[in-house]
A and B are shown apart, each in its own frame.
Chain A
Amino acid sequence: MHNVQEPYYVPSKLFPRAEFPTQPRHRGCRAGNPRTRCATLTAFTVYSDDTHEGLWFRDLVPRLNDAEMETIGNRGNNPDHVSKLLTYDRPDIVLCERGEPVLVVEKTSEVPSGHNVGQRVGRIVRAAEHDVPVIKFMPFDAKKHGEYASLCNLNARILDAFLKMWDIHDVPVMAINWPADNEGELIRDGTQDDFLQDVVRDFLDSGMSNRADKILETRRIMEREYDERVQAYKPYGSPPSSVEIVSTDQFVKTMHERMDGEFEADPGILSRDETVVYKIGMSPQNCRREDPYTGTQFIYDYQHCRDGPDPSDKSRNLVLNCPKIPKDRWLEANPNDRSRKSFLWYATANGIALKDGFIRVVD
């Protein structure tokens, strides 16, 4: 056997490097009195979906060393200022200062590509709707392991959607890359968090300014990444095959035919010249689900429809088209019930077109 001399972990840079075995250099942990070395503000509370994620986030920056740690509870068991961010979905981290959310963070080791692109987007949107800056920390390019191993690349549409959310809500909606090496293997030696760490530190040091230097740098990186990825793969610059932009007259005509003349478009829908139709191929048997469609609807909404912060602020209609599913079956499987995840189907689209009916939603 031979040992490969390759660094596999880079100790924390927050504290002076000490030679083993003198002083500890763990980011936040200390023998005895663990979190007392750094100047701290105790006004922070880190709410997390899992304890280990909360501790990871707390230890990113010394300023959070003395933050209170709380676990996000089930629906109805959280303080109002956290609860309002959970309506669509549960984010990994909600950072609060003096009882007000100041940052939401979502972390995933999966590249948002293919069918997965829209997963978890609802929770990002919810933060933006409440003017809370939000970070999605995710690999832009990385190798997937297992039977179908391959290099996965970010679907650039998500970057465009995030940038438009940022503009529409006037709050940072950041995509930060979890870097990979030249072979697509995710960096796991501790340095993968470096840029994220810089952004969070700069944001806190700036007094939670939406225009902190690192936040603006993040935006520039997102814009550059989007341009380069569209350049490299042109289809990312237009809607995917599941999305059609048609005249609203055409959409109304199609629905008339589908519903044997029974379709009556409401004034809200008729007021917009064009309609974005997102086709969802679920069958009646497997339609009791949300992922990934309810997240993906937000991507297309912000890319092609939205022009203001309220879901009804649209320049085009957004219709979710499920042509195989009868209305009765749909309502049974996916009721508009705020206590259930199916509520997300009714969060932003103007309507849901079904095999034999139409459900009017937002306007």
Chain B
Amino acid sequence: MDEGAVYYYAKTILREAGVNVFGGEPPGGSDELHRIELKDPEHGAKGSRGSRKFDLVAHHLGAFILIELKDDASKLEGDVRKLDEVVSSDDWIGAFWDNLSERRLLGRRGIPDIGRRELARRKSDLFVRALGAPPSGYQPPDDYILLEVGDGGLRCRAGGDLEAPTLRVYEDLRERLRPFWF
């Protein structure tokens, strides 16, 4: 299964399961989702140098889920570093808010109308990290959700030490994805 298929099944099944997947960027192109691009706070607002994008971005149960996908779980290491960096930084979270604001998504499409400072201040409650890849023995890091993507199916596992928002999303996803398990 290539990354395009991983992307398609993860996006489509999450949406069918009732998860508000509103942003993302497929490998090598674009689709109906908003491309959420975080401008590097160190390089200012112009250009895409150093910017961060995510394969999928969802809002579910009051939290933003940032999802990185690969066609092989062994390739996820760099994605973990990227996600850790973004969710721990007020600047990156501010850049995330800037992009939602630019796209006029705040207060629309099921996304809350939250202020920039509040989003950064409450980032540990409002962001959940997730990875996705075809099934493997990969053990997701602590406080991460792992989406296992099959041909027409989707299921999830989680790492250890789940914080409250991750646990809430994970337990809900497990139920929602049950019809799509493979």
Q: Which of A47-55, A152-160, A337-345 contacts B (4 or more CB under 8 A)?
A: A47-55
- The answer on a CB contact under 8 Å between A6 and B16 is no
Q: Fill in one digit per residue for A185-213: 1 if any B CB lies within 8 Å of its CB, else 0.
A: 11010101000000000000000000000
Distance between Cα atoms of A192 and B27 in the complex (Å): 21
Given known pairs A24-B16, A25-B16, the reply for A34 and B8 (CB within 8 Å) is no
Task: Give the CA-CA distance A190 to B4 in the complex, in Å.
Answer: 19
Bound-complex Cα distance A56 to B11 (A): 11
Question: What is the chain B residue whose CB lies nearest that of A18?
Answer: B179
Categorize the interface residue count of chain B: 35 or more
Would A24 and B113 be within 8 Å (CB), given that A52-B4, A146-B102 are in contact? no
Q: A1-B112, A31-B152, A31-B181 are in contact. Are A52 and B7 (CB under 8 A)?
A: yes
> Given the complex of chains A and B, what is the CA–CA distance between A51 and B5 in angstroms?
6
Given A11-B16, A21-B178, decide whether A2 and B5 contact each other with a Cβ distance below 8 A. no
How long is the Cα–Cα vector from A4 to B106 in the complex, in angstroms?
9
Interface assignment of B170: CB less than 8 Å from any CB of chain A: no
Interface residues of A in 1-19 (CB under 8 A from B): 1-4, 6-9, 11-12
**Alpha-carbon separation in the docked complex, A2 to B107 (Å):** 8
Q: Which residues of A contact B33 (CB under 8 A)?
A: 188
A237 to B104, CA, bound (A): 34
Q: What residues on B are CB-neighbors of A6 within 8 Å?
A: 108-110
Q: Check A29–B12 contact: CB distance below 8 A.
A: yes
How distant is B51 from chain A, measured CB to nearest CB, in Å?
13
Interface status of A30 (Cβ within 8 A of chain B): yes
Give min CB distance, B156 to chain A, whole Å. 13
Would you give the shortest CB distance from A51 to chain B, in whole angstroms? Answer: 3
The answer to whether B152 and A20 touch across the interface, beta carbons within 8 angstroms, is: no
Q: Is the pair A8, B16 in contact by a Cβ cutoff of 8 Å?
A: no
B180 touches A4 (CB 8 A): no
Question: Per-residue CB proximity of A131-175 to B under 8 Å, as 1/0?
Answer: 000000000000001100100000000000000000000000000
A185 to B102, CA, bound (A): 12
On whether the beta carbons of B103 and A51 are closer than 8 Å, the reply is: no
Inside 8 A of A27's CB, which chain B residues have their CB? 12, 16
Pairwise interchain contact B109-A51, C-beta atoms closer than 8 A: no
Q: A283 contacts the other chain (Cβ, under 8 Å)?
A: no
A1 touches B114 (CB 8 A): yes
The answer, yes or no, to whether A288 is at the interface (CB within 8 Å) is no
Contact of A31 among B7, B29, B153 (CB under 8 A): B153
Name the distance in Å between A140's Cβ and chain B's nearest Cβ: 16
Give A340 to B113 CA distance when docked, in angstroms.
49
Which residues of chain A from 49 to 83 have a CB within 8 Å of any chain B CB?
Answer: 49-56, 59
**B159 in the interface (beta carbon within 8 A):** no
Residues of B within 8 A of A20 (CB): 17-18, 176
CB contact under 8 A between A52 and B151, given known A1-B112, A11-B16, A24-B180: no
Kindly list chain A residues whose C-beta atoms are within 8 Å of the C-beta of B181.
31
Q: Looking at the assembled complex, report how far the CB atom of B48 sits from the nearest CB atom of chain A, in whole angstroms.
A: 11
A295 at the interface (CB under 8 A from B): no
Question: Is A112 positioned at the interface, with any CB of B under 8 Å from its CB?
Answer: no
Which residues of chain A have C-beta atoms less than 8 A from B113's C-beta? 1-2, 4
B136 at the interface (CB under 8 A from A): no
- Judged by a CB distance under 8 angstroms, whether B28 is at the interface is yes
Residues of B within 8 A of A23 (CB): 179
Listed in ascending order, the chain B residues whose CB lies under 8 Å from chain A are 2-5, 7-9, 11-13, 15-18, 20-22, 26-34, 62, 102-104, 107-114, 118, 151-154, 175-176, 178-182
Nearest first, the 5 closest Cβ-Cβ pairs linking A and B are A34-B152, A51-B4, A29-B152, A24-B179, A26-B16
Contacts A4-B108, A53-B26 known; 6 new A-B pairs at CB < 8 A: A7-B110, A20-B18, A51-B2, A55-B5, A55-B9, A185-B104
